[in-house]
Chains A and B, each alone.
Chain A
Amino acid sequence: MRRHHKAILIITLLITFQCYPARVSFLQENDAATRRAKEILRQVDDMWRGVSSHSIITMRVKTAHYSRELRLEGWSEGKEKTLVRILMPLKEKGTATLKSGNSIYSYLPRTDRTIRLTSGMMVGSWMGSHFTNDDLVKESRMEEDYDPFISFEGERDNQQIFEFTLIPKPDAAVVWGKVVAILIADGYIPLEYYYYDEDMNIARTITFSRIEMLAGRLRPKVMKVVPADKPDEYTELIYEELELGVPIEDDFFSIARLKRM
C-alpha cells in the first residue's frame, strides 16, 4: 500500500513538472493580453480627464419621487484630485465637492462649513443622483482595482467592438462583483458599462451616447446611468464644455480653496 502511494506521488510530481513549461508560456501569453487590455483601459480612463481638465456638465436626475437638473463645473488633475461646484439651482449654488485621494470633502455654503464625509456616507447618493459618493472616489481607479481581460473582440450590431470583463482584484475595496465594458474598437470610445453585484446580478447600466467632437476628438457627450432595480429612473450627465490640459494652480485642490470659490 505504502509503495503504491509513493508511486502516485512520483507520477504526480512528474506530471506537474512536465506541465510547468506549458503553464509558463500560457501565463506569458495571458500577460501580453492583460497588458493590452490595461493599456486600452488607461486610454479610456483618460478620455475625460487627461493630465488636467475643466468641464461644464448638466446633470439630470429622474427618480420615482423627483426630477431635477443641476449645472456643474468641474476641475480635475491627475487621477486623485477632483473638484465639482454646483452652478445651478440657486438653492444649492456654491456647494462644492472636493475629492482628494480617498477622501471627499463637501463645502456647504448655506452653513459655511466643510464636512469630510464618513465611510458610512460613501454609499449615500451624491447630490440626489444615482451616483454614490463612493463612485466619485473610485471613478478613475478602474485600472488599479480591477484585473481586465478582453472577453469579446469583433463585430456586434454592425460595429467593431471590444468587450472587457473587469474582475475586482482580491484585495480591492470595491462593491461590484464584476464590470463589463463595451467600447468601439476605433478610438476606444465607450458604449456601455454593465455593473454586477457580488451575486453576479446586474446592478446598473451606464450608456454613452451623442458621440461628437469634444476637446479635439470624438467623445460621447452623454452618459446615462440606469439602476437595474428601478428601470424608470436615471441620472444623465451631459458634457456641455470640456477642456483638457488646462493649467491649474498647485493649491487649487485644497480645503481652504473650497470656501473661497
Chain B
Amino acid sequence: MKIFSIASRNVFRNWRRTLVTTLAMGFAGFIMILFAALMQGLLQASEKNAVAMDLGDIQIHAEGYRDDPDLYTRIDNADTLVNEIRQIGLHATARLYGFGLAAAGSASAGVQLRGINTSTEDDVTQVHNHVLQGEWLSESDPKGVVIGRKLAKTLGVKPGDEIVFLGQATDGSMANDLYIVQGILKSVGEEVDRAGLYMIEKEFRELMVLPTGGHEIAIMRPDRSSDLDEATARVSSLAGEYETMNWRALRPVIARILDLADSQMIIMVIITYTAVAMVVLNAMLMSVFERIRELGIMKAVGVTPWQLMLLIYAETAIQVVMASVIAVVFGWSLSRYLEENGIDLSSVADGASFGGVAMDPVWKAYLTTEAVIIPVVFLFIIAFIAVLYPAVKAAVIRPVSAIHHR
C-alpha cells in the first residue's frame, strides 16, 4: 500500500512527462478501439451482405446446377427437404431460378427470374428489409415483382410501372406475362442489382410451367455463433445425394478477404503498440535516471531490489490505468456514435462492391466487448514489457555509486 502512495507521488511530481506519456498511451488505445470497431463494422456489413442478402450460410443444389443453371436441373423433394431442415432448428427456404427478357417501353434487358416463398425466405435473408423504393413482395399480389436497382435504371422504371417478361417455359412454350414493379432493391450484390427480378413462387411456377421441385435451398443459422461446419454436416446428411456447400466454399474469395481482415487488425495493433512501447520505455527510463540518487538512498535505507522494481511497475500501472480510462471513454463514445450514424461514403464509393458483394455506402462501426478489452489488455502488456528494462535498472542500482551519481 505504501508503495502505491510513493508511486503516485512520484508520478505526479513530473506531471508534464506523465501527461505526455499517458496521453500517448491513451490516444493509441483510443485509436485501436475505434479501428477495431470500424473493422468489425466493415466485416459484419460484408458478411451480412454476402450471406444475409442472398447466399445464406449453406446452400443445396442438384448436382451440376451450379456449373450449368438449367431450368430442368432440380431438387425434386425441395419442399420436404426444407421442412426437414427447419425441424433441426435452421432457417431454410427453396428458390426457383429462370432466365429471360424483361422489357419496359422500348428498353429491355436480360433478367434472372427468382421465384421465392416469402414466408420462409424472409427468415433466411434480409433482402425484404432492403427495399429502396416501393415495397417487398406480398403473397396476395402475384403480379407484383421486385427488381434490382441497376435493372430498374436500365429499364427506366419506378414502382408502379409495368414490365413485360418473356422467356421459355419448361414445356418449350413461351413464358410471357405483364408485371407491376412493386419495389426496387438497394444495392444487394452485383448479380441481383443488374438482373434480379423477384416474384412469388406460385406465380413463377405458373409462368414457367414448373409444378414441382426447386433449384436451390438456402439455409441460415439462427445462432450466428454456432459452428458453420457442424451445421453444414447436419444439412448434408439430410440432403443426401444433393450437393451441400456452405458460403465459405461457395464464395472462397470473400471468405479469404474476411479472414485476412482479422490478421490486418493484429498487424495494426502491433505497429501502433510498438510505437507506444517506445514512448513508455523512454519516459520511464528518463524518470529512473533522473532519480538515481533518490533510488540509491532508498536502497541504502533498506528498500529491497524487488520493492524498487515493484515501485517502478506501480508508477507505470497508474499511468496505464489513466490512459485506459481515456482510451475507453473516447473510443467507446466515438464508436457508439459511429455505430448509430456511420461514415457516409456515398460520395466516393456509391454502389461499390468487392467480390460481387455490394458495400453499404455508409460505413458503420460495430462495437464488441473484445474491441474494447483487447486494446486495453494489450496496452498493459506492452507497457509492462517496455518498463522491464528501467525497472531492472532501478532494482540493481548500487547505493554508493548512485548517491555519488552526477
Q: What residues make up the interface of A, taking CB atoms closer than 8 Å to B?
A: 61, 63-66, 68, 89, 91-92, 95, 106, 108, 110-111, 113, 115-118, 120-121, 124-125, 127-129
Whether, in the assembled complex, B109 has its beta carbon less than 8 Å from a beta carbon of chain A, the answer is yes
Q: Could you tell me if A65 and B173 are in contact, using CB atoms closer than 8 angstroms?
A: no
16 residue pairs bridging A and B, Cβ less than 8 Å apart: A63-B172, A65-B171, A89-B173, A91-B174, A92-B174, A106-B166, A110-B176, A110-B178, A111-B176, A111-B178, A113-B103, A113-B178, A118-B108, A125-B168, A127-B174, A128-B173
B170 CB, nearest partner CB in chain A, Å: 6
Which residue of chain B has its CB nearest to the CB of A89?
Answer: B173
A234–B213 alpha-carbon span in the complex (Å) = 27
Question: CA of A257 to CA of B108 in the docked complex: distance in angstroms?
Answer: 22
Least CB separation from A64: chain B residue: B72
Interchain nearest-CB distance for A133 vs B (Å):
11
In the complex, whether B241 has a CB less than 8 A from a CB of chain A is no
C-alpha gap A91/B164 in the complex (Å): 17
Residue pair B164, A66 in contact (C-beta under 8 Å): no
Nearest-neighbour CB distance to chain A for B51, whole angstroms, equals: 30
B106, A116: Cβ atoms closer than 8 Å: yes
Q: Chain B interface mostly helix, strand, loop or mixed?
A: strand
A residues in contact with B108, CB < 8 Å: 115-118
Contacts of A116 in B (CB 8 A): 106, 108
Q: A127 CA to B1 CA in the complex, in Å?
A: 92
Contact indicator B173/A115 (Cβ below 8 Å):
no
Please, how many angstroms separate the alpha-carbon atoms of A63 and B71 in the complex?
14
Bound complex: CA of A31 vs CA of B197, how far in Å? Answer: 55
Least Cβ–Cβ distance between A236 and chain B, in angstroms: 14
Q: A115 touching B103 by the CB < 8 A rule?
A: yes
Confirm or deny: B177 has a beta carbon within 8 angstroms of a beta carbon on chain A.
yes
Contact present for B173 and A92 (CB under 8 Å): yes
Hey, which chain B residues are within 8 Å of A117, CB to CB? 101, 108
Known contacts A63-B172, A68-B172; 14 additional CB pairs below 8 A are: A65-B170, A92-B174, A108-B164, A108-B166, A108-B174, A115-B103, A115-B164, A118-B101, A118-B108, A120-B101, A121-B101, A124-B168, A125-B168, A129-B172
The 4 A-B pairs at the shortest CB distance, nearest first, are namely A128-B172, A111-B178, A66-B172, A66-B171
B165 to chain A, nearest CB (A): 9
- Chain B residues with CB under 8 A of A121: 101, 110
Distance A110 CA – B168 CA, assembled complex (angstroms):
14
**In whole angstroms, how far apart are the Cα atoms of A125 and B247 in the complex?**
34
| A61 lies within 8 A of B177 (CB) | no
Q: How far is the CB of B368 from chain A (nearest CB, A)?
A: 46
B98 to chain A, nearest CB (A): 13
Whole-angstrom distance between the alpha carbons of A2 and B76 in the complex? 79
A61 touches B172 (CB 8 A): yes
Docked-complex contact A91 and B177, CB < 8 angstroms: no
Chain B, residues 174-198, CB within 8 Å of chain A (1/0): the string is 1011100000000000000000000
Select from chain A the residue with minimum beta-carbon distance to B72.
Answer: A65
| Distance A65 CA – B178 CA, assembled complex (angstroms) | 26
Chain B residues contacting A65 (CB-CB under 8 Å) are 72, 170-172
Is there contact, CB below 8 Å, between B172 and A115?
A: no
A4 to chain B, nearest CB (A): 60
Write the B386-399 contact mask toward A (1 if CB under 8 angstroms, else 0): 00000000000000
> Which A residues are CB-close (under 8 A) to B172?
61, 63, 65-66, 68, 127-129
Point out the residues of chain A lying under 8 angstroms from B110, CB to CB.
Answer: 118, 120-121
Q: Mark B137-180, 1 if CB is under 8 A from A, else 0.
A: 00000000000000000000000000010101011111011100
